[in-house]
Structure formats: structure tokens, C-alpha cells
Amino acid sequence: MLVGEEPSPFLLKIIRSSLASGHIPSLWAWSKIIFIPKQVKKDNTDPEVYRLISLTSFILNATEKVVDTLKRNRISSKQHAYRIGKSTELTFVLQHTVQNNEIGIGAFLDTEGAFDNTTQEALCDALRRKNVEPTICNWTESMFASRSAEIKVGDRTIAVDTTKGYIQGGALSLLLWSILVDKMLIELMSNGITCQDSAF
């Protein structure tokens, strides 16, 4: 299937069956991990200098995009991360204060290893809090529970089953992270604290 082409009826039937049953075929759940340097450093043996990107099945990727459209309206309007029409410029909650030469206080939170350390339990709880349809919840849980990955280091190839974290480079990962942190934004706003979420 080429970019811009209509998906075949056969492919649509496979995607619909997967969503309805909550089943992820093993070939979809398999991914190849590649290492992308975050920045140039002298010590290339340090794992922290690399970002791990998962190359997954294009059918899984297409199904993730379908699920993305079904979930995207569930997050707060204060979520500016990874959203069309939401600029990082808009996330500076002190913008009005700065423009008017006033004094303001701001707190900024950086979540280190956010994608790597999220548990399946935390994600499933977040989806249910958002009243995401049970079939979509089941499909998402299945995707995270059945994942396996292959990593090549030098001449060695290592196969592992993943137990936590989002798929780095996955079509659905950014939205799932936004759904997870939405609870924090809602709690802060309910206590009169102005806040917005973004990614830099």
C-alpha cells in the first residue's frame, strides 16, 4: 500500500478483527530495535547517550493510527504536547506576565525516562479513567502485554520480551503518554493552579 492510497478491504477487515477481538498477532507485536545517538559524546559505550527506536509492523502502525483518532478527544485542552495547532510557544503560562512586566512564579517538571518506565498497569488505569471503550482498552492492553523485541549489538542478536514502557517511535505512544499525565493536570487545575503540558 502506497502513501495516499485507499487501504484494501482485506487490510481493513484484518484491522477491524484485531480491534474487535483485542488480539495482536505475534508478528505485529515483534519489533526491531535500533540505536540513535541523542548527541555526540566521547563515551559511546554509555547506554544513556542512545535513544532506542522500535521498527514495528506497518499493519500495527496503521492500527495504532486508527486507535489514535478514537482516543484523541479524551485529553485535556491544556495538553499541548504532540497536538496539531498547539504550539510550544503557547505553553509558556507566564507569557501574559512577561508581556505586562509583572512578577510571576512558575514551576517546570521534567519527567526523565517517561517512555521507558511507564507500567502497563498505570496505562490501563488511565484509559479506564478516561472511559475509553472496553474494546479499545483491551486491544491496547494486549499490544503492551504481547510485545517482543530484537536487538543487534555487534555480532550478537538478542531477543527479549518487553514488560514496560511505550514503543519508542510508535504511532500511538505519544497520545498514550498524554492520557497518562492528564490526571496530574486535572488535579492541579482543580486546586486553582494554571498549568499546561508540552514537550521540548
pLDDT in tens, 45-54: 777 778 788 8
pLDDT above 90 as % of the chain: 2
Global pTM? 0.71
Given a cut of 70, whether residue 177 has pLDDT beyond it is yes
CA–CA gap between residue 133 and residue 124 (Å, rounded) = 12
Most confidently predicted of 9-23, 26-40, 108-122:
9-23
DSSP H or E run through 183 = helix 173-190
- Other CB atoms within a 10 A radius of the CB of residue 95 amount to 12
What is the pLDDT of the chain when averaged over all its residues?
A: 79
pLDDT in tens, 75-128: 777 776 666 766 655 556 566 777 778 776 666 777 777 677 788 888 888 888
CA–CA gap between residue 59 and residue 56 (Å, rounded) = 9
CA–CA gap between residue 101 and residue 46 (Å, rounded) = 44
C-alpha torsion sign, points 138, 17, 64, 51:
positive
Q: How far is CA 41 from CA 35, 46, 53, 113, 152, in A?
A: 14, 9, 19, 19, 21
